[in-house]
Structures are given as structure tokens and as C-alpha cells.
Amino acid sequence: MATNRVVSLAPSATEICRELDAIDRLVGVTHHCPLDVPAVGGWLNPDFDAVEECDPDLVLTTDSLQADLRDELRDRGNRVVHVEPETLPEVVKSFAAVGRAVGKADDGDELASRARSRIERVRRRVEGRPEPVVYCEEWSSPPTAAGNWVPDAVRAAGGEYPFLPAGERSREVAAETVEEAEPEHVFLHVCGRGERSDPDAVLRRDWDVPAIETGSVHVLDDSLLNQPSPRLLDGIEAMARTLHPDAFE
């Protein structure tokens, strides 16, 4: 089946299409995607009529939060490919799945292979080094420990992440829980904030943790950890350079 007209309802799917050199197939995206392509609404509240006006061969959705959208779109007669990665290996596998969906299966397989190689390269660089405890905050009101693939990403970068197992959804975390873990580094990647998260807001908290004592609170663009796309590989590399700078000299 030809897939020349694709609507992407997830920024991660859009970014995967970019890496697959398939941007020219996109005829609709969310307003979270910085492309010169018609926007059809937000990733959780798209305009279904606007999607229909794009006359898509394929609609891409992702995450369990878009499951209802997927079902509604299919009920309306659309061909929908939905990926729902929860761990780092599943994120990488989704690159190949999107590649097959948009008619670029070989490129999708190659993208997944390159991603695995990048992760393995980082792991080799940090192997055998002390693993500092890391706290990753996806949301700050209230403080929310990042889950899903982030625990895997921290471990790949050479850190320890005791807050959630990989695959579990992000959840609110108590100050006492953070203090008991004694994180040596904090990474802020607040949803929707890009690189604009305020590290001083964390440094001012009455948390008795080494990261605040040493000022080791780092801001990452939220797409580098929150988005299950090739951007996540950039996030892993950025974390690894912060945790183990001597490994990358």
C-alpha cells in the first residue's frame, strides 16, 4: 500500500520520519512539531475533521495516552499505525516499525541498528566507572520522577536510577524518597519547557541531597528524554558526558 500522505499525531513519530528522510510524506502534524506542514491540533486533542481534510494514507500515533485517538481514527476509516514503547529497547524497535509503516522498511531497520550501536558505544565508554545516583524530573508541580524508558537511558549513560523500574509510568515522588536515594545528579527535563526549566527552583528546595549541595542540577531539553525518538540517543549521550566527562575527553 502506498504511503505518500502521512499525518503524524506525535512529535516522536514526526522526528522518526525526519530521520528516515520521509518528511516530504507528511501532510499533517500537531502544532508541537516545528514543520512547515499543516497543523491538525495537539497530540492529545487533534481536530479529526482537519485530519480528514489532509486525506491521509496513514496516521501515526504513539503512547497509551493516544490509544483512544487511535480507536476513533480507525472507526472513522483511517489506516492507523500505533506504537507504544515503554522501555529503551522498545523505543529502538519502534523506529523500524514506523519505517515499515511509511514504506521505508530498510531505512527503519538501519535507523534502529544505528541507535543500538550508539547506545552500545556509550555503554562501552562508561563501563567499569562508578555509577552515580541520578534523579530525573519530568514535571515539577508536583515533582515527578521520570519513568518509561528514562531508567534504561540513565543506566546506559552510566548512572543508577532507584526511583522507578523501566517501563513504569512517571509518577509523583516524595521529598523523603529522593533524600533516601541521595542522588548525586539531578536532570530537569520538564514536559513542554524545552531548555527553559529553572535549575534554581530545585536548588532552592529544602531537600537534603548531594546534588543540591554540590549544585549538580542540569537542564536538558525535554525532547532529549521525554520523546521516544532518535532524540533520546542524544539525551543518553548528553547525560553520559555529564556523569562521566573524563570518558569523553
What is the pTM assigned to this prediction? 0.95
pLDDT tens digits, one per residue of 226-246: 999 999 999 999 999 999 999
CATH number of 1-84: 3.40.50.1980
Q: What angle do CA 42, 43, 48 make, to 5 degrees?
A: 70
Q: Do 1-84 and 126-248 come out as alike in CATH topology?
A: yes
Classify domain 126-248 at the CATH class level.
alpha beta
Q: Where are the beta strands (DSSP E) in 16-121?
A: 26-28, 58-62, 80-83
Three cell numbers written together for 131: 555509577
pLDDT tens digits, one per residue of 195-206: 888 899 899 999
Q: Where are the domains of the chain?
A: 1-84, 126-248
Report d(CA 191, CA 182) in Å as an integer. Answer: 24
Residue 176 has pLDDT above 70, yes or no: yes
Once rounded to an integer, what is the mean pLDDT over residues 127-148?
A: 97
